[in-house]
Structure 1
Amino acid sequence: MIGHTAQVEAFTAAFTGGRPHHAWLLVGQQGLGKALFARQAATWLLAGGPAGGGFDVPAEGEAARLMAAGSHLDFRLIERTLAKTGKLRSEIVIGQIVRRADSEGQPLREFLTGTPMLGPRRVVIIDAADDMNRNTANALLKNLEEPSLDTVFLLISHAPGRLLPTIRSRCRTLRFSRLPDSDVMRVLAGADLEGEDESLLVRLAQGCPGRAIALAQAGITALEQDLAALAGLQMQIANPAALMLARGIGGKGREGRYAALLDRVPALIADRAQRLNGPARGAAIAQWEAASRLAREAVPLQLEPGQVAHRLALHLAAVPA
């Protein structure tokens, strides 16, 4: 675990000091490492919460081995699952909490019956709690309202305002802040970044190493070069650089590049607009508003990625570099 020392200390102190809480809300921007924190905290708890500093547990111990293999009987991860169509669901459904006709696998309510199988406690991670619909959240609330002494809930949230107030009130909140660039560089040093510009990744990460890794996997260095090629070109339908960019977006396996494009184009336009004055700045702001609206609506409206990429490229080309 790189960074977040204060959060680790607060969590371990609550259990070793006899002040444990049954539910924790891990709050912060996406990409800060909250999921890694939750998993390491779960392993530490399932190993008995050994003293010795941080979440360190013997790698050869039962808890660490079973967690690594994904087969610990006292651990459950609740996250979005694949629908029958093979696509990832847009939300965590109630069937994952209570038994429903369309449930797949053992729901959480059944997992929590009886006593833990391998140790004194069970751990449940919900990643992300923001993905629960209202029915799912209300079903989970019943478990939080009647806490069991042998179960710890770790709810990951990127936008806690979307959660039911009653859920927030039953959790102890642990807030995560952006990491300094030095810590982001340490995280990236352990990742496979072949062909990627590390300094660019650190700058774009904005203190969120997970964001940097996702951008690296999307090939952000090459994408930034493609976007830079649009500088100074006019907003013409037959713009060759825009057409080339659009052809490289669509298709299976390019979802990461598409997501990076939706994020980067409005940001680049905003950066350019800040350096302009007078009517030129006003025109750039208009392009930013149009690009931001398109990027925001592209996925919910299921717009064709190639066409979206082409339109975004034209918006960017219309703003002087």
Structure 2
Amino acid sequence: MAATDPLPDPDRLEGAPHPRETRAFFGHADQQAEFLRAFNSGRLHHAWMLTGPKGVGKATLAWRLARFLLATPEADGGMFAAPPPDSLELPDSHPVARRLLQLAEPRHFLLRRGPNDKETALSQVISVDEVRKMKSFFALTAADGGRRTAIIDAVDEMNPAAANALLKLLEEPPPNVTLFLIAHQPARLLPTIRSRCRELRLTPLAPQDLADALTQAGGDIAPQDRTALAELSGGSVGEAFRLTNLDGLKLYTALTRLFSTLPRLDRPQALALADLAAAKGAAETFDLIVTLIDLFLARLARCGTTGQTPPEAAPHEAQLLHRLAPHPLAARAWADLAQSLSSRARRGKAVNLDPAALLMDMLLKVDETAGSLALR
């Protein structure tokens, strides 16, 4: 990246609209209703933690809630007061919606990773300086004395000093301020931060909601691929977007075709897959293949444990899962292998091992496990 190039948004999925630009919202009706009930009761919590897997809509919902709060006038309790709102919807033409879209709303603060010290790239963490900017922002009096909001995307990315500074703000919240904390892995946060927030847990999207959200984000999904994409993405729009852009469904089909040759792995097929992952500029493809192998092993373990197959994500997958994981003993072996391969992949990538060799080694380990299970 040239020094004059603008830095990318740290909270935007590459190639997709920013969450603040996403107007239609799919799924999560219960979570929206919970927030609306709290608002209408007059007991709105000052901090809301939006949790759940990456890509299921946490940031999009946070922007939706902030728009609603900033645009909805405070009830005066008079006889002619407007009835309580029954929806979070806000027209695109509303001044608040337009200002938030342009990051020009004076009553809203967006806390996210900033540039590094040399301003040549994004920092890997949210620093304490960024949190101090937010605290200074709220120290100022709002122009109209009304509500103010902030979105922290994502609180997982804070370094320890930033997390402690945020905790102090949560302990002594400014008046009329509502914070929305986006957390992908809340268990890693300080317990004191979690305890001072009300949680809205978002779950994976259903296939139809996922397809609609992906279409809005600019992805293209055929009707017959909806179930497979929902299975492989875990109901995450972000992951579905990655799968779509990198031909993930085709890669997973190729993997299951290869694994159908177990326990006598088809070496030419395996080498072709390894060469694909090692091609120039194919780092993302390599990462995706590793992810798909881990996912296949997890599906094997679940099938062996429960005796039930998930909806198929590739042709003839159910038959393959039953054959390779017919009982809980096999499930345990596949689960152990998944953990081992994940560690090997991380170590191999850290020391810059040849991607083709690393992937081939992983495939041979899968073959070895299948062979040992066939002898039992």
**TM-score over 0.5 (shorter chain):** yes
- TM-superposed deviation, 1:37: 0.6
Q: Is contact 1:57–1:64 with CA below 8 Å preserved after alignment?
A: yes
- Partner of 2:56, secondary structure, is coil
Q: Is contact 2:154–2:184 with CA below 8 Å preserved after alignment?
A: yes
Q: 1:65 aligns with which of 88, 94, 98?
A: 98
Aligned to 1:77: 110
Q: Is contact 1:265–1:291 with CA below 8 Å preserved after alignment?
A: no
Aligned to 2:147: 121
Q: Deviations over 1:299-319 (max 9, x none)?
A: 6x3645735444444445656
- TM-superposed deviation, 1:35: 0.9
Unaligned runs of 5+ in 2: 1-24, 75-83, 305-322, 372-376
Q: Is contact 2:154–2:181 with CA below 8 Å preserved after alignment?
A: yes
Q: Aligned runs of 1:218-257 on 2, under 5 Å?
A: 218-228=246-256, 230-231=258-259, 232=261, 234=265, 240-248=271-279, 251=281, 256-257=284-285
Query: Which stretch of structure 1 is more off in the superposition, 180-189 or 273-282?
Result: 273-282
Q: 1:16 aligns with which of 40, 47, 68?
A: 40
- TM-superposed deviation, 1:148: 1.3
> In 2, Cα distance between the equivalents of 1:183 and 1:128?
24
Q: Partner letter of residue 210 of structure 1?
A: G
Q: Partner letter of residue 290 of structure 1?
A: S
Aligned to 2:226: 198
> In 2, Cα distance between the equivalents of 1:237 and 1:95?
54
- TM-superposed deviation, 1:65: 0.3
Q: Partner letter of residue 244 of structure 1?
A: D
Q: Partner letter of residue 206 of structure 1?
A: G
- TM-score, length-scaled by structure 1: 0.81
Query: Number of residue pairs matched?
Result: 309
- TM-superposed deviation, 1:8: 1.1
- TM-superposed deviation, 1:60: 0.9
- TM-superposed deviation, 1:53: 2.8
Structure 1 pair 86–235 and aligned structure 2 pair: CA distance change class (3 A)? farther
In the alignment, does 2:199 pair up with 1:173?
yes
Aligned to 1:96: 130
- TM-superposed deviation, 1:243: 3.5
Q: 1:3 aligns with which of 24, 27, 39?
A: 27
Q: Deviations over 1:145-193 (max 9, x none)?
A: 1111221111111222111121112112222233333332332343433
> In 2, Cα distance between the equivalents of 1:238 and 1:87?
39
Structure 1 pair 36–258 and aligned structure 2 pair: CA distance change class (3 A)? farther
In the alignment, does 2:315 pair up with 1:291?
no
> In 2, Cα distance between the equivalents of 1:16 and 1:282?
49
Aligned to 1:262: 290
- TM-superposed deviation, 1:140: 0.9
Q: Partner letter of residue 165 of structure 1?
A: P
Q: Is contact 2:47–2:170 with CA below 8 Å preserved after alignment?
A: yes
Aligned to 1:26: 50
- Let me know the Cα RMSD of the aligned residues: 3.3
Q: Deviations over 1:35-54 (max 9, x none)?
A: 11101111111212685432
Query: Which stretch of structure 1 is more off in the superposition, 73-82 or 143-152?
Result: 73-82
- TM-superposed deviation, 1:22: 1.1
Identity between Structure 1 and Structure 2 (%): 32
Q: Aligned runs of 1:269-308 on 2, under 5 Å?
A: 269-272=297-300, 274=304, 275-276=323-324, 287-297=337-347, 301=350, 303-304=352-353, 306-307=355-356, 308=358
Q: Deviations over 1:239-296 (max 9, x none)?
A: 5314322224x53xx5543442232112223445743369988876665343222244
- Partner of 1:97, secondary structure, is helix
> In 1, Cα distance between the equivalents of 2:220 and 2:28?
27
Q: Partner letter of residue 15 of structure 1?
A: F
> In 2, Cα distance between the equivalents of 1:110 and 1:42?
19
